Amino acid sequence: MENLLYELLDWAEVETIVYSEHDNPHSLLGAHVTEKGILINAFIPTAVHIKVNLTETGQEYPMTREVYEGFFSVLIPGKKVASYTLIVIYDNNTMEEILDPYSFEPIIDPVDLTRFSNGIHYHIYDKLGAHSMEVDGIKGVLFAVWAPNALRVSVVGNFNNWDGRRHTMRRLYDSGIFELFIPRPMPGEIYKFEIKIKGGLIVLKADPYANRTELRPNNASVVCDLNDYEWQDGSWMKERAVYQFETQPMSVYEVHLGSWKKPPAKEEREFYNYRELAPMLAGYVKDMGYTHIELLPIMEHPFDGSWGYQVTGYYAPTARYGSPADFMYFVDYMHKQGIGVILDWVPAHFPRDAFGLANFDGTCLYEHRDPRQGAHPHWGTLIYNYGRPQVSNFLIANALFWVEKYHVDGIRMDAVASMLYLDYGKKQGEWIANIYGGNENLEAMELLKHLNSIFKKRHDGALLIAEESTAWPKVTEDVRDGGLGFDLKWNLGWMNDFTDYMKCDPLFRKGRHGELTFSMIYAYSEKFMLVLSHDEVVHGKGSMVNKMPGSLEHKFANLRIAYGFMICHPGKKLLFMGQDFAQFAEWNEAKSLEWDLLNQEQNGKLNRYVRDLNKLYRSHPALYELDFEERGFEWISCMDADHSIIAFVRRAGREEETLLIVCNFTPVLYKNFLIGVPFTGRYKEIFNSDKTIYGGYGNVNPRLKQSGRQEADGRDESVTLVIPPLGIAVFSCAPFIREAKAESGADF
């Protein structure tokens, strides 16, 4: 029998198994029909004895160790492979009965492989990674990874003593994908892929498609099933599918979960869990009147100081705050409270961590090989090769994954400009022009168009928002009309101009009046979101209140008019946490927000002011319904640089509402200031930043104002108003017809 076995084995192939170089171990290991019977081979390096147990009959056949330690064979009579188990005795005298992982046919369908190779498998995350499933009634985990240039790939973990010889994976045809079904439940098991690269070197890589990871500084992937959570947000999701963001209010609260609020020091832990954060955050957001939260990246990342913008685990919520199910609960809870959830997402670059995507299979698989194309010199990170179909598929599927699996309502794409421009952040000689000699990244453009077009086809109301810092045209134009297809674009031009203007001493603002009004020249070129984000309160820039000039009192007054102008300006809104109660310190990701400041009079009043601003915004369609239509805005006064006063009108569509907004960016009080009005009517003040409840002096307009026939601002009609210092006043406008006096024909 031993001589027969020796003759049946291909010993060159056996050596590639023993020396862990085989990329199709199923061709030798497992059960195979031969003319002499059923040949079963197994390679378990630490085994000293193995028996084959036929499941149906219970018959046992001892296996023979063949030449190499750990390699066993047996020839069983028969012409058809029957189900069996392996009874293994190890060198430490322990015994285990296992199902043979090499007794299963390929699981990933050739159609899936073709779609992935073409870059159009939008649910590839259901195939690659680690997925619990049943195969022929047997529960286990399918491991799969794309590593086309690897000599060999194994899945390793505690379950096999991190021995890459134990669970070598099968290369699926010419797809570059390796898979292995391990026939046993493995919830919570940690694992990595051991990759033998050309030259014989071995690297350990985390799973690019892992649904869960270890808490840093550990970085292994974790087997996790995402299908067990029972969602309760059906009503929200149904309404979202018909949600028209263009005509609805969007006031977004930007949050870094790790520093929004930290546990007390006595608890000796770094972070709250997602489930703990949900009611605390939702309660605050609802009370303040925000419509959405936007989370700085919660995808897994090794370095806290990156704030999540250097991602290593694109398909896993960070373990800092709990499990994937915990994060599902977080999103579910927000939806039940009527709060939308937007995630920051980073397809522009990735870090060089050895366990991550960099040089994944011994080659520049995800990045470009040429550093002029594949590296950001300033950030020290790598740039994706967007022209490789499998790489673009990885990213497109990832954006869809968070919408599909976690029900998120929007994706805010970080650093889009760095994707679009080949020379972004680079000097002469550090970049390569495109085929037409230009600096546009044609492959990145195609990726963005592809992603946006797929999002639109879902018809589920999920949004894609671009942080694009240049004047790239048609960012929010439909792909069919030559645009990139985003729903919204961050208006960073407005942010830079406006913060520069507000930082200027009011005495000199008249010389910068254009910075205040310039945004309306291009306001309708894109669908804009006005943002005062985390980027404006870090790296020595100071908090929002400390950007403001003057005494502490003037700082708060300046901040009130700044927020008021932002709310009334066309565009959706975003404000970073801590700035709505005027946190004095610059944001630090390692520290909690200074919540005690709410007990201080000025900070508490500012917080109330922002709450009432959000209420004003959400209750008046004129402030949001026609954000992207020119008929929703009209200047009344935009040239009065000497007074640093502007006035404009916002209009609604269906409601036919008109609001008059007057802003004074100097600390001068005007008690009888003439302002032109859009029509004959009555003007009632409905909001004033100088109210004492907000920390002001009470310079308000308590009585209804009726327009008179006195020319002002190029208008035939005007009203005389109290204009508060460093203040904003909002008036509702009701037209009326002035009746002629019978005797004289004079007008009232």
Name the region of 240 (left: φ>0; alpha: ψ -120 to 50; beta: rest). Answer: alpha
Q: Is 650 exposed, middle or buried (0-12, 13-18, 19+ CB in 10 A)?
A: buried
* Beta-bridge mates of residue 74: 40
With both helix axes pointing from N to C terminus, report the angle between 442-458 and 389-406 in degrees, rounded to the nearest 10. Answer: 30
Instruction: Provide the residue type at 284 as one letter.
Output: Y
* C-alpha 290, offset from chain centre: 19
Could you say which of 207, 361, 367, 467 is catalytic?
Answer: 467
Task: Look up residue 253 and give its two tokens.
Answer: 């609260």
CA-angle at 411, arms to 410 and 413, nearest 5°: 150
Give the separation between CA 49 and CA 72, rounded to whole angstroms.
Answer: 8
Where would I find the beta strands (DSSP E) of 92-237?
95-99, 129-135, 138-146, 152-157, 170-171, 177-182, 190-196, 202-205, 221-222
Residue carrying the six token digits 């932002």: 566
Q: Hey, is 671 helix, strand or coil? A: strand
Specify the DSSP element, H or E, that contains 138: strand 138-146
Q: Measure the CA–CA gap between 294 and 596, rounded to whole angstroms.
A: 23
Cα gap 23→179, rounded to integer Å: 10
The strand pairing partners of 382, in sequence order, are 350, 375
> What's the distance, Cα to Cα, between the start and end of the chain in Å?
118
Structure tokens at 367: 């990045």
Under 8 Å between Cβ of 261 and 592: yes
Cα→Cα distances 320→299, 363, 587, Å: 10, 31, 19
Query: Which tokens sit at 168?
Result: 């070598």
DSSP state of 162: T
Catalytic residue (choose from 414, 536, 625, 717)? 414
Active-site residue, 414 included:
yes
3-state secondary structure 424-459: CCCCCCCCCCCCCCCCECHHHHHHHHHHHHHHHHHC
Is residue 574 within 8 Å of residue 531, measured between CB atoms?
A: yes
Does residue 467 carry a catalytic annotation? Answer: yes
d(CA 52, CA 56): 12
- Could you give the residue numbers annotated as active site? 414, 467
